[in-house]
Amino acid sequence: MCACLLIASAARAQTAVRIDPATGGLGWLTRPYKARSVPPISMANSSRLESLIRSGNLYISAQDVVALALENNIDIEVQRYGALLAREILKRAQGGGILRSVGLGVAQGPQSVSLTGVSVNGSGSTVGTGGNGVNSSGGILTQLGPTIPSLDPTFTYFAQFQHATSPQSNTILTGTTAFLQDSRTYQAQYIQNWVFGLTAQVTYASQHTRVNSQFFNLNPYTTGDVDVQITQNLLQGFGSAVNGRNIRVQKNNLKVTDLQFKQQVITTVSSVLNLYWDLVSFHQDLEARKQALETAKKLLEDNRKQVSLGSLAEIEIVRAESQLYASQQDLTISETNLLQQELVLKNALSRSGVASSSLANVHIVPLDHLVVPDKDEFKPVDDLVGAALERRVEIQQARINLESNHLNLVGIKNSLKPTLQVFAEAANNGLTGQLTPFGVAQGGGAAGLAGGYGTLVSQIARRDFPNYSAGFSLNIPLRNRAAQSDYVTSLIEIRQNELNLQKNENQVRVDVHSAVIGLQQARVRYDAAVKARVLQQQTLDADQRKYALGATTVYQVVQDQRDLANAESSEMQAMANYSHAKITFDQALGTTLEVNHVSLDEAKSGKVAMNSGKAQ
């Protein structure tokens, strides 16, 4: 048991949606330069799916359908990578990189094989991504404005070894016709940029040189210096609001990514629930068709007996057979609709779809029945609209993206300014080497420079030979048409986005009103369908009694049977229509997850702690 638990735990760890850190090397020292990895995708279904299969049947409730979708649906699995992608882009922005467009949009869920009875003009209207004009969009990606500097520090080391021979036309200066120079150059440099526009650069360089001339005071000699430069932007490129705008925007995009995952969960849960309740209606319709077929068979047998006794004309057998064949055709259509619906639902609840023969041959047995409550209780529509505007994912995304547009506008506006930089530089130099006879002959003036590398370092530390400089650089673009255009264009886009936000908020109000009306309409249709079925059943019972007494014709009984079958089918469609209307109502209010007891944390992990059983 312990071994199995360890294996299962390891398997779960291998298939989790995550980024594995780099391994090997010298730990933290080499980790930034080694590639991290993402585990391969997992096509294994959760254990819940196998646990619900018994004797070749998959017994599921509405709660099981939701749980299986959260654990196995590929559309939701795709969106689980969205958070990882967004965090990686944030890391890129924190290093000064430009934002990247990654990830996929919300995928619409599968539809039933038949939309009969589902009204798209009210009770069955689609709410959510791409529905009713309210769009679900991703994060903002804009790279206009001043260039953002790299915010990761850079260390550079340079080494050069050189041998140079230069023919000389004047031997008085060098004392030779061929001037030889051997040099070894080393340079180390550290550069750091800060988000408020400051750049600092520290450089240490040294060069060891040996020449063949006798006219040098020091030979070989070593030169070196430590140079510190700082530059600060004062107009364009100044401030963390400008240089850190990508970081702020990507943090907003993280929120948008979470909302997009939530939208995918809502879309998928609503879709699979529609599939499930349609499957339930197909099952109930199948039972009604079977009953109608049995009734048609009984009528045919009775007619044959009465014809043999001479109490009925033979034409009544033909009429009964016609009814029997019509009932068989209706039964076949109902059976095939059920089989196709099972395929669609199994594909939505499994990673591998129906590729697995063990799942392809399984029949789904729903544990729930379509039930329409006695009455619907609504809060005032204005209260429902207010709650929907706060809950609807599309509105939240649009508001966050509008905020990101304003953050980007700060940088775009900053590009209107001229470029003004102030800079300062301080350098400490040093020179040391071996005193030559020529240097001694010159009176020993260079004796203070004689020494080794330690002497060079001491000179630099004591600042024996300092350099200083400071200044500014001003760059004024004349006319500045590109920056002017970028700013106004971005401002116009913001105004358009503000109008679209208002349009979407207006559409949410329409969605809520339509959903309420649709649910009321679905109830009226259901009540009418129930009443029609009851009356038709009473009509059939009465005509059968009349037929037994010879007071009516076989044709009338056959017609009553057809009408009853159609009434029962209409009732099933009305019940399915009500379930669609209720799901749409929950989507319009943004309460799909709450109503179906869905935890986003469980959805993100892909492990749902939900007991199978009847839906609440």
616 occurs within a structural domain: no
Identity (one letter) of the amino acid at 285?
A: D
pLDDT tier at 444, thresholds 50, 70, 90: low
pLDDT digits (tens, 9 = 90+) for 279-319: 998 988 888 888 888 888 888 888 888 888 877 788 888 88
493 occurs within a structural domain: no
210 occurs within a structural domain: yes
Sheet holding 218-233, edge to edge: 154-167, 178-193, 198-211, 218-233, 419-435, 465-475
pLDDT digits (tens, 9 = 90+) for 522-563: 999 999 999 999 999 999 899 888 877 878 777 787 788 888
Helical H segments across 207-314, by residue range: 240-243, 245-309
pTM of the predicted protein model: 0.84
pLDDT digits (tens, 9 = 90+) for 324-347: 898 899 899 889 989 999 999 999
107 occurs within a structural domain: no
If you average pLDDT over residues 588-614, what whole number do you get? 84
455 occurs within a structural domain: yes
173 occurs within a structural domain: yes
428 occurs within a structural domain: yes
Q: In angstroms, rounded to a whole number, what is the distance separating the alpha carbons of residues 361 and 503?
A: 48
pLDDT digits (tens, 9 = 90+) for 34-59: 888 888 888 888 889 989 999 889 99
**Number of domains forming the structure of the chain:** 1
User: Which burial class, exposed, middle or buried, applies to 38 when counting CB atoms under 10 A from its CB (0-12, 13-18, 19+)?
Assistant: exposed
Contact between residue 232 and residue 421 where contact means Cβ atoms under 8 Å apart:
yes
Residues 6+ apart with CB under 8 A from 268: 69, 73, 75, 76, 109, 348
- Start-to-end Cα distance in the chain: 35
4 occurs within a structural domain: no
Instruction: Please give the residue range of the domain that contains residue 204.
Output: 154-193+198-236+419-475
> Is the pLDDT assigned to residue 613 strictly greater than 70?
no
Q: Three-state SS for 131?
A: strand
Contact between residue 459 and residue 432 where contact means Cβ atoms under 8 Å apart:
yes
